[in-house]
Amino acid sequence: MAEARYDAIADFYQATFSRFDDPDVACLLELLGPAAGLRVLDLACGHGRLTRQLARRGATVLGVDLSRALLAAAETAERAAPLGIRYLQGDAAAPTWLHGDRFDAVTCCFGLSDIDDLDGAAASVAQALRPGGLFVFSILHPCFPGSPGVSSAWPTGGGYHDEGYWRADGELSTLRRQVGANHRTLSTYLNTLRRHGLRLDELAEPAPPASGNDQRENADRFPTTLVARFIKGADTA
């Protein structure tokens, strides 16, 4: 199984990224639409931030993540306030855990840049979805140029077209300094998903929250995040 970079920083991540009322999560849930009655796979679910919101909206949810430490936090929250969520440890790009299950929707909240094998992850999403199912995800906007103290989406010293894994060095980029990220161009994301039978349906670029602009000068002048909805086409196999 691939390396779980988040095991070493699970406590920091859970303490820092536990809000569910930010514009990006709200936008992802809006693009997903009514969740009641849906079978949803939350890919790279972490400590269950989005997973629990989906379950509260009436979805039957399976959360999958590579990090055993983050899953332990998710399972603790589930025991404390049960919502019927199942959690599994698994590699998003090697879905031996899928066992032929099909879902109405797959969600991924800021997890794609943590997955080194985008092609493998796209294949997993396509395999998991029923025809007509939705893939809804959020990512750091591939075109984000950075702001004072915050690293851009692409490697330091490089440019937008320099794809690959790297670690940020911006003072306020606290997460990406620790676990790094895979930068990919927008066309790489769109074309990879298209090759696996996933068709773009809608894009959104939420404005950053006003509270974040106090530390991030000019942050509201640039696209910071990207939220997208894709639809799975008919099975061809």
Q: Over range 120-147, report the average pLDDT.
A: 97
- pLDDT tens per residue, range 12-53: 999 988 776 788 999 999 999 999 999 999 999 999 999 999
CA 83 to chain centre: 21
What's the whole-number average pLDDT of the chain?
A: 92
Question: 114 pLDDT exceeds 60?
Answer: yes
Question: 191 pLDDT exceeds 80?
Answer: yes
Question: 237 pLDDT exceeds 50?
Answer: no
Question: 165 pLDDT exceeds 80?
Answer: yes
Cβ-contact 225, 139 below 8 angstroms:
yes
Query: For the whole model, what pTM was predicted?
Result: 0.93
pLDDT, residue 213, reads 47
**Dihedrals phi, psi of 123, to nearest 5 degrees:** -65, -40
Exposure string of 2-32, with b = 16+ CB inside 10 Å and e = fewer, is eebebeebbeebbeeeeeeebbbbebbbebb
Strands (E), 72-180: 86-89, 103-109, 129-140, 164-166
pLDDT, residue 234, reads 86
Which residues lie below 8 Å from residue 194, measured CB to CB, with a gap of 6+? 200
- Cα separation, 175 vs 48, in Å, equals 17
Q: Over range 87-109, report the average pLDDT.
A: 95
Cβ-contact 47, 14 below 8 angstroms:
yes
Query: Which tokens go with 56?
Result: 């509260």
- Cα separation, 230 vs 210, in Å, equals 29
- Residue 172: band (very low, low, confident or very high) from pLDDT cuts 50, 70, 90: very high
Other beta carbons within 10 angstroms of residue 180's beta carbon come to 17
Find the helix or strand (DSSP H, E) in which 9 lies: none
- Cα separation, 27 vs 23, in Å, equals 6
- pLDDT tens per residue, range 54-77: 999 999 999 999 999 999 999 999
pLDDT, residue 2, reads 52
Q: What percent of the chain has pLDDT over 70?
A: 92
Question: 9 pLDDT exceeds 70?
Answer: yes
What does the domain layout of the chain look like in residue ranges? 5-143+184-232
Give domain 5-143+184-232's CATH architecture: 3-Layer(aba) Sandwich (3.40)
Query: Which tokens go with 225?
Result: 């995040």
Of 48, 42, 54, 55, the residue nearest 13 (C-alpha): 48
Question: 195 pLDDT exceeds 50?
Answer: yes
- pLDDT tens per residue, range 208-218: 766 544 455 55
Query: Which tokens go with 42?
Result: 């939350």
